[in-house]
Amino acid sequence: MTVGIFIGALLGTMALGIPIAFALLATGVALMWHLDLFDSQILAQNVINGADSFPLLAVPFFMLAGEIMNVGGLSRRIVDLALALIGHVKGGLGYVAIMAAVLLSALSGSAVADAAALTALLLPMMVKAGHDKARAGGLIAASGIIGPIIPPSIGFVIFGVAANVSITKLFLAGIFPGLLIGASLWFTWWWLGRREKIDVPPRKSRAEVLHALRASTWALMLPVIILVGLRLGVFTPTEAAVVAAVYALFVATVVYRELKLNQLYAIFVTAAKTTSVIMLLIAAAMVSAWLVTVADLPSKVIGLLEPFMGNPTLLLIAIMVLVMVVGTAMDMTPTILILTPVLMPVIKAAGIDPVYFGVLFIINNSIGLITPPVGTVLNVVAGVGRMKIDEVTKGVWPFMLAELLVMLLMVLFPSLVTVPARWFGG
């Protein structure tokens, strides 16, 4: 009964078009009435406590860093470097999109920001070279979702807070899976483009490659600083976000000099608006999370999944299918906030490593960003690239299937995640 009220209240409020944050609050109130615990003070206190978290300070600073990088020229220089290195090979612009996405993922941690930057910079070039626009847009969308997987990752920050799992370990565990997804996109693009007749740009001279490398050195140093700092324990993920924002601001204003002081206000406002949406969602979700614990919903879910509890692989497959279905109708942040409190007790009861599960969970939610009908990244690529959403959806399918195959391999062979995680984490 309690599970039915939770799901019914959430889906019912969403069906009425109520924003997710308020739908979560309404679900919390419904559970309170059902449990005969309604108290407005408890409701308000949980909302306040939900946003009162030191690790969550990483979210606004990573958002700010991403905005500064796009406006300040750091993202463009990363793309220029990728163009100089591999732009001259057949289908090179597609490989550039993948390579640039991997590098940008180590800078911003936001799929939306990375997809928007890559679409604006590369989609016109790919269409001009003769690539199918839908396929090119689909590749960029699929490449953009590497952003929440390779650290720094806003998704890992939110999951780490909600699941009480080390964010540093999640960051380091996400490196190899993100690279593996990039490799799957690389192979898929090669396979699809074997028979394409494309105008190949001329090879850049050694001097031009060195110039692009020198120009992007300051941008490339940021992920090195963050990863080395986290690996050696110099700073926490929250402090790493501050370092990223300050470093990006310094490079954009002092080194590259592309960011003017009169642009800062607009950048801060944009970052603040995006952050406020995420923080409201987190605060509202904590009400439902508290009531999920009080109502002992996890034990009921464990009961439902009892047939799979003896086989961690089958259990993970069942959970991944559930997350995939939810991801088609819900954005990444609310999915993390709603499902994490319910699923983590199940994962712990089955003896599955929470960090390993966190990586799979975030990968699945990232793929949800390119699954219709919601598909946030699909909408971003369609909007920036002036395409119909149906075109991007058609173009993204082969690449999304490749990413799902990689996720399945990680479920079947956990060492693909755990062994590199131990190596990076020492």
Segments of the chain scoring below 50 in pLDDT: none
Place of tokens 């060492």: 415
Cis bond before residue 152 (omega within 30° of 0) = yes
Q: Is the peptide bond before 298 cis (omega within 30 degrees of 0)?
A: no
Q: How far apart are CA 323 and CA 335, in angstroms?
A: 8
Residue-level pLDDT at 261? 86
Give percent helix, percent strand, percent coil of the chain, each to the nearest 5. Answer: 80, 0, 20
**Using an 8 Å Cβ cutoff, are 358 and 156 in contact?**
yes
Can you give the pTM of this predicted structure? 0.84
201-239 pLDDT, tens digit per residue, is: 778 888 888 998 898 899 888 888 888 888 787 888 888
d(CA 341, CA 393): 31
The pair of three-digit structure tokens given for residue 207, joined into one six-digit string = 């001097």
Helix (H, G, I), strand (E, B) or coil at 205: coil
| Residue 376, CA distances (Å) to 176, 218, 246, 320, 382 in order | 25, 30, 28, 20, 10
Q: Which own/partner pairs from 317-322 qualify as long-range (CB within 8 Å, at least 24 positions apart)?
A: 317/408, 317/411, 319/343, 319/346, 320/360, 320/364, 320/407, 320/411
Question: Residues 18, 66, 104, CA angle at the centre, nearest 5°?
Answer: 115
Q: Give the Cα separation of 398 and 136 in Å (integer).
A: 12
User: Of 296, 359, 331, nearest to 159 (Cα)?
Assistant: 359
Give 196-200's long-range contacts (Cβ < 8 A, gap of 24+). 196/90, 196/91, 196/130, 196/131, 197/130, 198/90, 198/91, 198/129, 198/130, 198/131, 199/129, 199/130, 200/88, 200/89, 200/90, 200/92, 200/129
CA pair distance 207, 187, nearest whole angstrom: 29
Cα 257 off chain centre by: 29
Helix, strand or coil, per DSSP, at residue 249: helix
Residue 98: its pLDDT value, please?
92
Which helix (DSSP H) or strand (DSSP E) does residue 19 occupy? none
pLDDT in tens, 81-97: 888 888 778 778 889 88
Distance CA 392, CA 381 (A): 8
